[in-house]
Amino acid sequence: MQRARLLDKEWPGCECERESLQSEGGKPVADDEVVARILTSPEGYDITTRALVATKLQSVYSCGLSVIRSGASDAEISNTVDQLTRASETSSLVGAIVLPVADIRALRDEEAWFGVYATDDGNKTHHVDIAGTWPNSGSNKEKRKRQDDRRMRLRDKFASRILFANDAAGLIAQLRAAGL
Span 112-161, pLDDT tens digits:
899 898 887 777 888 888 988 888 888 999 989 999 999 999 999 999 99
Cβ-based neighbours of 8, under 8 Å, separated by 6 or more: 115, 131, 132, 133, 134
Is residue 179 in some structural domain? no
Is residue 175 in some structural domain? no
- Per the structure, how many domains does the chain have? 1
Which residue, 113, 93, 111, is CA-closest to 36?
93
Name the H helices within the chain.
Answer: 3-10, 74-85, 101-105, 140-159, 168-177
Q: What is the mean pLDDT of residues 44-62?
A: 89
Phi, psi of 34 (to 5 degrees): -110, 140
Which range among 13-17, 139-143, 168-172 has the greatest average pLDDT?
Answer: 168-172
| Domain span including residue 14 | 3-170
Q: How far is CA 137 from the centre of its chain?
A: 25
Which residue, 23, 118, 22, is CA-closest to 70?
118
Give me the pLDDT at residue 13, please. 67
Is residue 178 in some structural domain? no
Is residue 88 in some structural domain? yes
